[in-house]
Every structure is written in C-alpha cells, then in structure tokens.
Structure 1
Amino acid sequence: MRLEVENFRSLQKVSVPLGPLAVMVGPNGAGKTNLLDVFRFLADIIQTDLAPALEQRGGFDQVLFRGGDERAAAMSISLAATWTPFSNPENPDEYRLGVWRRSNELFRRESFRYRLPRGSHQEISVSGEEISVSAASREEIGPVAKNIGITRFSSALSTLPRLSHDWGGGEVATIAKSLSSFRAFEVHVDAARRPSRFPRGDTEVLRDDASNLAAFLFTLSEQRPDTWRQLVDDAKEVLPQLDDIEFDRPSGAAREVVVMLRERGLRRATQLADASYGTIRLLGLLALLYDPQPPALTCIEEIDHGLHPQALELLVTRLREASEITQLLVATHSPALADQLAPHELIVCERDDDGASVIPAVSIEDIERIVQASEGEPLGRLWFSGALGGDL
C-alpha cells in the first residue's frame, strides 16, 4: 500500500509506503496521529459522507495545512493497494480524493482506477455531479446510470457502488468496503473493564475502543478454543501471577458476561473491573491481534502505553503474525519496542521548520546502512541516540 497526502493537517506533502506491518516513531507533534487520522477520515467518509467527516474535524479550514508562507487552498489523498481481484503490488488499484475551496464554496473530485482481466484497466472520475468512465476493454459498455443519487459534494465512495457491473459498480463497492473497514483501535480502559451484554449470535465484532471486550473474549473462547488458549498463554507469559481467564454469567435481565482472572495465591478470581490499567490494555490488544476476522487495515496509536517492557517482544511477534491477514499501522514512543523491529518495519517521523511533517524522514535503505555501520545496534537504541533522527 502507498499513501500520498497533501495539505491534511501537518501532512503538507508526504508519500508513505506501508508494508504489512509499519511502526511509526518520532516526537510528539511530528504527524503520527495525523497520518493515522487520514485512514479514520476515509472510513468516516463512507460511514457519514464527506461533509460530516470534515465537520467532525472542525471543518475544511481546520483540516488544511496551516504552515509555510502561503495559505493552502486544497487538500488531496491518494491511496494505492490491492483490493480488487485482478490487481497486484506492481499494478495496484488507486483511489484519489481532492477537496478545494473556490469563492467560499467547497468542491471535490474523486477517481477510481482498477485492474481488469488481461492486464487492462478502467478509471472512473467524479467531479461535482458528473461521472466519466475511461475507455476500457469491457465489451458493450452502456450509458452510465443517471440517477444514482450523487450530489455536488457527496462522496462517490457511498454512491458509485450503485453503478452497473459494466460501469464498475462492483469494483468501487469492493474498494469502498475495504476503506470503510479501516479500524483506528484504542483501548478505552474504563469501558473495557466493564461487563458486556451477552452475545446474541455466533460472532462478536471487537469494537474500536474494546468496550465489548468481555463479550468478544467469551465468543472467541466458545467459537475458537485453540485461538483462545493461545491468547490465554500469551497473557500468562506477560502476567506471571495469572493462572487462567474464566467467565461469569450472572443471571438477570442484563444478560451480562464478566471476565474473571484466576490469579496465583488468591482464593477467589478477580473481576476484570478490578484489574490494573496495563492488564486491561494488554487483553484488549491481544483480542485485537487474535481477531479471526480483522479489517483490511488497523491503526493503533501509542501501542506501548501502560505496558511493561517485557510485553513488547511478545507484542511485536503477534503483530507480525496478525499482519499476515491484515495491515497494521502502529505508533509508538518506546525504544524498547523499536528494538524488536526490522528496518523495513520502521517509519521515522519528523517535523520541519515550516510545521510540515516529514514522513518518512529516513529511507529504508538509509536505515539499513546506519544499522550496518553500527554493527547491528538495535533500532530503538539508534533512534533514541538520534542516529536515525525523529528525536523523542
């Protein structure tokens, strides 16, 4: 996947290649959160439309880059990835969004480019209420649908899936489904520690704030016992006092499920509500990384927050395993976590004198060269020492 952004908050002009696992390091204010918010923004556009997604962030003027000598008037986001069946890393699908202001009025332009069989491609462009489809190899393309509900400033991500198959409705729907599934995950500890409503079906989707952690873990234990035992073993490795994780289902109208921690030396199990901040964050992150049906991409900010350093090596191992079925974009301030990474997994972030984020601030090739020159010094120590830039 490659993300290109212009004039979105501090991201004046960045082009970021993202592998299966990408971990951002850098000081506060370097733009890590803003990069994560690009993916939240794309998901919000599909779920609420373009105008509400902007208003949620304070409006278009608050989203625009505010540094430099000249005031920005437009922003753009471009994302290339393999979403549709005939795309591949060398010939990915592409989605582009541009938003600008003219005479106190907002405009948007979107385009979709996707692969077709036998190496050809098709492109759909939307500007205002006008839709155009490029020449393609599909036979007998008919007239574009006229009444699919697109308006001047509504997002094509939510309306173009209504197009016919010949006009690319299926491909746009596939792209939109992937973008809408993007998850920005942050364990809300106060919510996660509470009992959850008993799940009513065979599946329980883990919420972005882990507020249904108890129900998700219970469902995982019932539906995927082998995966559940692996999660418990991981928790026991990091929490030496933990013997097992159980569930209580008190009777009553609430129909709640409660997580119970069986701890060494205690006569009674401890409810999750009484567990430590770090324990709850750890269980929330393990739940995320063992999710059997993850979204296309998951963003995690300050993944190390509240965790003991001994948990980080295990966490990186599980991140790599999870990245085999979902892309992961992670932000951290922990040199100990960065120590566990390979050069191609690290993205160094900085900010220049004009207030613009520099991401990546160091190329993978330069990181590899610096590591080699240091005779294999771990990445976290090199970053902490300033050898990689992106100071703490």
Structure 2
Amino acid sequence: MRITVRNFLGLAQIDWQPSGVCLIAGPNGSGKTTLLEALEFFSRSFQKSTHEAVRLLGGGRGLKHKDAPPDEPVSFVLQEAGVTWELDVSISGAGVGEFPAERVTVDGKTLVRRVAGSNEWTLVGERRVDGPEDAPRTCLRAAWEALRLESIEPLVRSIQNIRVYDAWWINQLRQSGSSDIGDSYLHRTGRNLFSVLKTWRAAPRRYNNQFEWVRDKARLAFYDIFDDIELSDNEGFVSARFFPQGEGAGGEGLPIVRAADGLLVGLLHLTAVAGARPGSLVGLDEMENQLHPHAIRIILEAMREMADERDLTVVLTTHSPVLMNEFRGEPEQFYVTEFGRVPGPVRLVDLHDPRWLSQFALGDLYEQLRIGAPSAGEHAA
C-alpha cells in the first residue's frame, strides 16, 4: 500500500509505503497522528462518505494545510496492486464541496471518474448520475457495489481492513463494561473489548483461539498482576473480573474497576492485533501509554509475531525511548516526522547511515535530540 497526500492538516505532503511493524517518532505537532488520520480518512470515506470523514475530523475548517495555495484541494491518493484511487477534496468554509473530484485507475486505465462539483460520473465509460435519493458514497464504493470487479478487489479489501485506534475508552470499560452485542472486531475506541473477548472465547475454533492468544500474551506482559479474566453477562452488558497471579482455585478475583490502567491498555492492544484480518493495517497512537517497559517489549514481540503470521501492517506512533530501542535491529522500519521536511515521513536509514545508527540505542539518540528533534525555535522555548 502506498499513500500520497497533499495539503492535509499539519502535513504539506505525505508519501509513504508502510509495511510490517513500523514505528513513527517525532516532536509534538510534527504529524505522527496525522499519518494515522490520513489512513483512516480513506477507510471512512469508503465505508461512509467523504463528507462524514471530514466531519469526524472536525469539519473543513483546519483540514487544509495552512500553507497550501488557496486554489489547491486536499488531495488523497491510495495505490494497491496496480489500482489507484484519487480523491480531491475542495474546502468551502467549514465544509467541503458537495461532490469531490474522484478517479480510479487500473494499470493506468481509467475505470471511474468524477469532475469536482458534478453529480455525474462515469463507470467504465458509462455515464451515471447521483440523485437526491442516492445515499452519499464515493464513486469507488458505488462501482464496487454495482460490479464487484475483481480488478479493484485488492484495493477495496485494503481499505476495508484499515483499523486505527487512537483513544481507548478505559473509564467506560471500568464503569459499565461492554454492550453484549456479539461483536467479533474491536471498535476504534475499545468500548466493546469484553464483548469481543466473550465472542472469541465461546467459539475458539472459529476465531483461531484469539481469546487464548490475548490471555497468554497478557500473562507474559503482566506476569505479576494477571493470570486470567472471567467474562459474565449482566443485564445486556458484559462485565469482567480478573484474577491475579497466585490466586488459588476458588478465588473470587477482582472487579475490573480494580484493574491497573496498563493491564486494560495491554488487553486492548493485543485484542486489536489479534482480531485483524490477514493483510490488514492496524494503527495505534502512542502505544506505550501507561505501559511498563517490560509490557511494551512483550506486546511489541506479540505484534510482530501476529504480523508475520497474518501479513499485517502495524503502525505505531511513539515518544518512548524504550519502544524505539526495540527497533535497533530494524532501523528501516523506523520513520521520523520533522517540521518542514517534505514529503514525510522519512525512514531513519534515509536520514542517517545505518552503520552509524548501529552504534547507538535509538531511544538515546531521540532523547539527545539527534533524531526527531523539535525545531530550533521550539527547542529554545
């Protein structure tokens, strides 16, 4: 997958091909989270509509990079297996133009095309018109639903399998558990964690023992406080109790409200990766939050294991030197965002000689402001 984006939020230009388990580091405000938002923009635009994707980012005001020329749109391009999807979003006040420009090409040949501002578009040369009765959707989705063309299936599957997690709703999990609606995939907020784990536990063969995998990895990451988790129904909600190491048979365990924040975060991270379909992209913003260094290392190792098994792309943003140090043997998987560097992000090995990097712990270089440093003005402040 390759994404190319122009004039989006704090990044003037993105040109990026993430793969495997990769790390993004850089100063605050340099665009780490924006990279995840760009990935999610493609998913939301396809699954819902471009207008909904813009709305969920706070509306058109501020969507466009501050230095972008007034007459340029915010441009999004996604490429996968010879298929290219282009979206040009024109900003009008706090909103966007009613019909963004859109184009889909397969091996360079145009399959779908819409001119900005027009309700007419073409599919394999055939003219189509979106009327008031048509649900808001991209031309790509309309083409997929109409024809199910094999040629665009790899692109569509990649878009459908983008899952970005940026703010876990831990307090909701503590206080009310999860709605018991039989979910099998984790919501972007993590609010359905216990429902997902319950579904997996009830059908281990169907879900490839994903519950057991999450529990076993959590035991390794939190060996001093966690041994097992019990899930139970409670008036339409799934509640949980956890059992610390050393509690014998017949023990009552502890209510989830007593669980350490780090334990809940770890369970959420592991569930996000365990539930990813083969070939998916999973994004986690500041994965290290509330985690002990030992837990960070174990969970990262688990992510790499699952990524290898299912051909996943896992994108992690971070400020953690501990997490950075775990990429010393894979500096080509380490990306940096820096103010004024276009396009971004940049592979660390393209900024510094790998032989030089091999002499240092990468986290030390970050702490010493030798990589991913704030701009001179911000540092002086």
Place the TM-score, normalised by the shorter chain, in its bin: 0.7 to 0.9
Q: What's the TM-score once normalised by structure 2's chain length?
A: 0.81
In the TM superposition, what is the alpha-carbon distance from 1:303 to its structure 2 partner? 0.5
In the TM superposition, what is the alpha-carbon distance from 1:72 to its structure 2 partner? 5.8
Change (3 A) 1:269 1:177: same
1:200-257 deviations in whole A, cap 9, x for unaligned? 4xx622211111211222232332385433432322222232352131435x643634
**1:206-225 alignment, distance < 5 Å:** 206-224=186-204
In 1, Cα distance between equivalents of 2:238 and 2:274: 22
Contact residue 4 and residue 77 of structure 1 kept, 8 A: yes
In 2, Cα distance between equivalents of 1:207 and 1:290: 13
Could you tell me the percent identity over the aligned residues? 19
Secondary structure of the structure 2 residue equivalent to 1:76: strand
**1:228-377 alignment, distance < 5 Å:** 228-242=211-225, 244-249=227-232, 253-254=235-236, 256-264=238-246, 268-291=252-275, 293=277, 296-324=280-308, 325=310, 326-341=312-327, 342-352=330-340, 359-362=344-347, 364-367=349-352, 369=353, 371-377=354-360
- 1:100 counterpart residue number: 90
Contact residue 88 and residue 102 of structure 2 kept, 8 A: yes
Give the unaligned 5+ runs of structure 1: 82-86, 135-142
1:305-364 deviations in whole A, cap 9, x for unaligned? 010011122222122223232222211110110111111211101112xxx775224553
1:155-177 deviations in whole A, cap 9, x for unaligned? 21332224446xx4x54566345
Change (3 A) 1:279 1:164: closer
Contact residue 77 and residue 86 of structure 2 kept, 8 A: yes
- 2:143 counterpart residue number: 160
Residues 1:28 and 2:14 aligned together: no
In the TM superposition, what is the alpha-carbon distance from 1:126 to its structure 2 partner? 2.0
Q: What's the TM-score once normalised by structure 1's chain length?
A: 0.79
Contact residue 148 and residue 163 of structure 1 kept, 8 A: no
Give the unaligned 5+ runs of structure 2: none
Residues 1:18 and 2:18 aligned together: yes
Change (3 A) 1:344 1:262: same
Secondary structure of the structure 1 residue equivalent to 2:62: helix
Contact residue 120 and residue 130 of structure 2 kept, 8 A: no
Give the letter aligned to residue 221 of structure 2.
V
Which of 159, 169, 175 is 2:155 aligned to?
A: 175
Give the letter aligned to residue 293 of structure 2.
P
In 2, Cα distance between equivalents of 1:343 and 1:62: 33
In 2, Cα distance between equivalents of 1:372 and 1:174: 37
In 2, Cα distance between equivalents of 1:112 and 1:259: 49
In 2, Cα distance between equivalents of 1:130 and 1:42: 22
1:85-136 deviations in whole A, cap 9, x for unaligned? xx3xxxx321111123589983521111235xxxx865432222343467xx
In 1, Cα distance between equivalents of 2:350 and 2:190: 37
In 2, Cα distance between equivalents of 1:280 and 1:102: 42
- 2:178 counterpart residue number: 196
Change (3 A) 1:57 1:163: same
In the TM superposition, what is the alpha-carbon distance from 1:271 to its structure 2 partner? 1.8
In 2, Cα distance between equivalents of 1:192 and 1:55: 26
In the TM superposition, what is the alpha-carbon distance from 1:31 to its structure 2 partner? 0.7
**1:58-137 alignment, distance < 5 Å:** 58-67=58-67, 70-71=69-70, 73-81=72-80, 87=81, 92-100=82-90, 106=97, 108-115=100-107, 123-127=111-115, 128-132=118-122
In the TM superposition, what is the alpha-carbon distance from 1:47 to its structure 2 partner? 3.3
In 2, Cα distance between equivalents of 1:4 and 1:26: 20
In 2, Cα distance between equivalents of 1:207 and 1:219: 14
Give the letter aligned to residue 335 of structure 1.
P
In 2, Cα distance between equivalents of 1:58 and 1:212: 24
Secondary structure of the structure 2 residue equivalent to 1:65: coil
Give the total of aligned pairs: 359
